[in-house]
Amino acid sequence: MNYLPEYSTPLTRETLELIKYHKRCIMDLEQSGFADPEAKQKLKFLDEFKENIHFYLDGIKAIEDSETKKQAKLLKFRKIAECEVCNAMQPVTIVREEKNEKLNVMCDIVVCDVCKTEFLNIMPNNFHDRIIFYEYLIKILSPVIEKESKKKKLSPDIKGFILIVAEGKSYIAAQLEIERKENRMKQAIEDMTKSIEGTYDRLLLAKISGLNRDDLQSFVN
């Protein structure tokens, strides 16, 4: 595991400093011939906690990297939209964002790079809002499909609707799974932050009260 200073936070920096301080105190004590019966345990705790901090920083970096990748992927999707004038999916330039008040989702106003027409891209401009959009489409298309499917021959429109519903359902399932994973990672980081804060407090208290040096009080759980 590498130390990643660019991802360090004030909390991890200060905790690492305290770890260094306490290790030095334990070593000094040992050298002065004054043995702390808990020295081995304390050193083990400090080393393990240092590893935890590196693991935590790697986790923060992983979340940031995946967020950067996600934004790049999203931008790629946002720059293509169905232009009604060209009657095709075309590359577009994003002009501004606009809220769809009915669905409460954010969309883009875009200009078609080919015919230069400005229009609203009805596909929301972020992955989460696309779930809401697809859920809405499924809600309004499903009764139409059900009614029409009783007919012998399906119209091309209905076949298109069926495809949209299938696409929507698979999008929602995949996106919800991604969001569950993201939330689990964020929760793990939050839990680790609390654990580091708790240890920081104990190490700081041991330092300012000089307990580690004089009374050999334990900061080990």
Q: Which residues bind Zn ion (CB under 5 A)?
A: 83, 85-86, 90, 112, 114-115
Q: Which residues contact 190 (CB under 8 A, 6 or more apart)?
A: none
The token duo for 24 is 């030095």
Task: List beta partners, residue 88.
Answer: 83
- Measure CA 72 to chain center: 14
Task: Pick between residue 83 and residue 165 the one whose CB is nearest to Zn ion.
Answer: 83
Least distance (Å) from Zn ion to the CB of residue 95?
Answer: 14
Closest CB to Zn ion among residues 91, 160: 91
CB 165 within 8 A of CB 141: yes
- Kindly tell me which of 95 and 115 has the beta carbon lying closer to Zn ion: 115
C-beta of 84 vs 179, nearer to Zn ion = 84
Least distance CB 75 / Zn ion (angstroms): 20
Measured CA distances, 156 to 2, 123, 151, 165, 168 (Å):
57, 22, 13, 14, 18
> Is the CB of 90 or the CB of 212 nearer to Zn ion?
90
Cβ at position 87, least distance to Zn ion in Å: 8
Handedness of CA 105, 108, 114, 118 (dihedral sign): positive
Q: How far is the CB of 79 from Zn ion (least distance, A)?
A: 13
Which CB atom, from 47 or from 118, has the smaller least distance to Zn ion?
118
CB of 156 to Zn ion, least distance (A): 22
Least distance (Å) from Zn ion to the CB of residue 111? 9
Give me 3's structure tokens: 């130390």
Q: What is the DSSP letter of 2?
A: -
Closest CA to 25 of 206, 194, 169, 190: 206
Count the alpha carbons within 13 Å of 189 in the hemisphere toward its beta carbon.
18
